[in-house]
Amino acid sequence: MRHIFYSFLLSFLFYPLTAQKVPEILKKEFSQESLVQTVDNIEGDKTSIHSVLKKHLGKIVVIEFWASWCKDCLLSMPETHKLSENNPQVDFIYLSLDRSEDTWKKGIEKYNLSMGDNYWFSSGWKNPFNEFIDLNWIPRYMVIDTKGKIAKYYAISAKDPELQETINLLLQ
């Protein structure tokens, strides 16, 4: 009986680690349905994900999904800033899942996210773009190549060595 209890306890404790570890998949291009998803820019105008990515064509892009209510997101901010500082040739896009426009804008200022482009999913978490990329955790990072294709699909930490490795490969 004791063995069963310890097995249950260990599986319960390590479940979050295994649940967050999603294998890389071979999605290289965004679906058309995901690209028409709208987000709000800092001026309050709606724009499509397609337009956001088109603005950065020719550049390597890191996309970070975050929210000001997300403790893990806030704890990762220093590493996000470090990643940005170490890669001045890379564009950063911050996609917020905050519950209101006001908290999103306050979060940008409070956490100094002005070094990149900021957008907010006014539609909330559930939308075609987030469904396409299987958004199941934040913070979440993706790397997009100079042609707008997905180069790194899934990372939950700005310290993930594969983020920098992917950026380095794309810079060659």
Query: What pLDDT was estimated at residue 1?
Result: 56
Burial class (CB in 10 A: 0-12, 13-18, 19+), 123: middle
Residue 142 resides in a domain: yes
Does residue 139 have a cis bond before it (omega within 30 degrees)?
A: yes
pLDDT tens digits, residue range 107-164?
Answer: 999 999 988 999 999 999 999 999 999 999 999 999 999 999 999 999 999 999 999 9
Condensed to tens digits (0 to 9), the pLDDT of residues 21-43 reads: 333 444 589 999 999 999 999 99
Can you give the CATH number for the domain in which 73 is found? 3.40.30.10
Contacts of 114 (CB under 8 A, 6+ apart): 108
Q: Give a yes or no: residue 6 inside a domain.
A: no
User: What stretch of H or E contains 103?
Assistant: helix 101-110
For the chain, what is the domain count? 1
Find the mean pLDDT for residues 73-89. Answer: 95
**82 occurs within a structural domain:** yes
